[in-house]
Every structure is written in C-alpha cells, then in structure tokens.
Chain A
Amino acid sequence: DQQVKQNSPSLSVQEGRISILNCDYTNSMFDYFLWYKKYPAEGPTFLISISSIKDKNEDGRFTVFLNKSAKHLSLHIVPSQPGDSAVYFCAASGGGGADGLTFGKGTHLIIQP
C-alpha cells in the first residue's frame, strides 16, 4: 500500500514557465513533508520542506503548498531552468522525527529549451 503517491512519472515543461509537481498521501499521521531532487547514481538533494501546521513555504524559485484536508501537496518551480531537469521525490514523515522518510515513486521533470 503506497502511502505517498506521485501519479505523474514524467513532466515536460518549457524553460521559463512554471513547473508544478504533485504529491498525495494517505497516512494522516504524516506531519512533515519534504521535496528532494535526484540525479542518477547520486543521493537525493533536499529542496524544500513544509510542516503540517503551515499551508505554504517558499524558498527562492521553489514553493510548496500543502492542502491537509485533501492530503495533497505540490511543488511549484518558477521560472523553470534547464538545470531543474531531474527526478523529484516527495517524502513524508510523522511521529516527531527520527522515524525515517516514506518516499513517493518520483516524477521525472524535463525542462525543454
């Protein structure tokens, strides 16, 4: 049973436009959510996170929105740049920390020039 779902395996966006990556979760105990960017054969690189007490967190070109009632979060990247092409993982955790992350299957973002 997948507790964190990223239903789009891939997404293609033109350079300069907005990229929106979506993530849904089923476990209501999750209270912290993170987005990671990953290149092949490398470890995930942290991008941005959000606590369940917030509905939005912004850091430069990256904004994460959380809709708790819908158990849905999204990552907005604007403007999209060629270097943003990578696999993006949504991850969730609960229980106060130090209990590991549950990852979605990832979305491969391709930025077209």
Chain B
Amino acid sequence: DTEVTQTPKHLVMGMTNKKSLKCEQHMGHRAMYWYKQKAKKPPELMFVYSYEKLSINESVPSRFSPECPNSSLLNLHLHALQPEDSALYLCASSLAGDYGGYTFGSGTRLTVV
C-alpha cells in the first residue's frame, strides 16, 4: 500500500457545525502533515506530527484541532469555521527524520457556508 487516503473527498458545513477530516496511511511513515490549499495558491503547512506527537503548529487558529490517534491515522477536527476557511485540505506522510516517500493524499474539498 503506497497511498495516503483522505475522507471525505468533499464536505459542506455550516459555521456552527463540528466535523472531522480523516487521513490514513499504511506505509509505516512516522511523520504526518496537514496542509491547506486555496485556489491558485501553493499548499501551506498547518501541522506536523512526528511519532504521534505534534511537532509543528504553524500558528493555525484553534478552530482547527489536529489529532493523531496512532501511527497510521491523522484527524483534523473542525469547529466554528468561517467561509474563508473553504479550501482543499491535504494530508501527507513521510519517513520521519528522512524525506523518503513524501506522499500526499488527494485531499478534502471543504466548503463553509
């Protein structure tokens, strides 16, 4: 298995909703990442988990809450989002301490209404 799987592929949520994005990989990667990509912009790093511990938080608002339950799973919990948070959310994984196999999922297209 050489894939990073993200669910759901599309999500529409209201500003008062709570939802979660999920990411899964079975490549034995010990670093996992969340990126946000707006239209016609490059992906921007949000969070990095290394060995299931949060190692980087790029000053992301608290309405985004990451969670790494185990070495294969990464969640992004969403609460009280704003319309400007609408974007493509990408998960990636890699060998920690190495750049090997840096792989992206196909993303979740989030629309906040």
Q: A residues bordering B, Cβ < 8 Å?
A: 32, 34, 36, 41-46, 49, 89, 93, 96-106
Contacts and interface: CB of A to CB of B under 8 A. Distances in A.
Nearest to A41: B109
Contact of B43 (A32, A44, A46): A44
What is the size category of the interface that chain B forms with chain A? 20 to 34
Contacts of A49: 99, 102
A97 B98 contact: yes
A43 B97 CA distance: 23
B103 A97 contact: no
B94 to A, nearest CB: 7
B103 A46 contact: yes
A36 B43 CA distance: 11
Interface of B: 4, 6, 30-31, 33, 35, 41-45, 48, 50, 55-56, 58, 88, 90, 92, 94-99, 102-107, 109
Contacts of A106: 42
Nearest to B109: A41
Contacts of B58: 100
In the complex, which of the residues B6, B48, B99 has the most CB atoms of chain A within 10 Å of its own CB atom?
B99
In the complex, which of the residues A41, A101, A106 has the most CB atoms of chain B within 10 Å of its own CB atom?
A101
A98 B88 CA distance: 21
B83 to A, nearest CB: 19
Contacts of A98: 30-31, 48, 50, 55, 94, 96-97
A27 to B, nearest CB: 14
Contacts of A103: 42-44
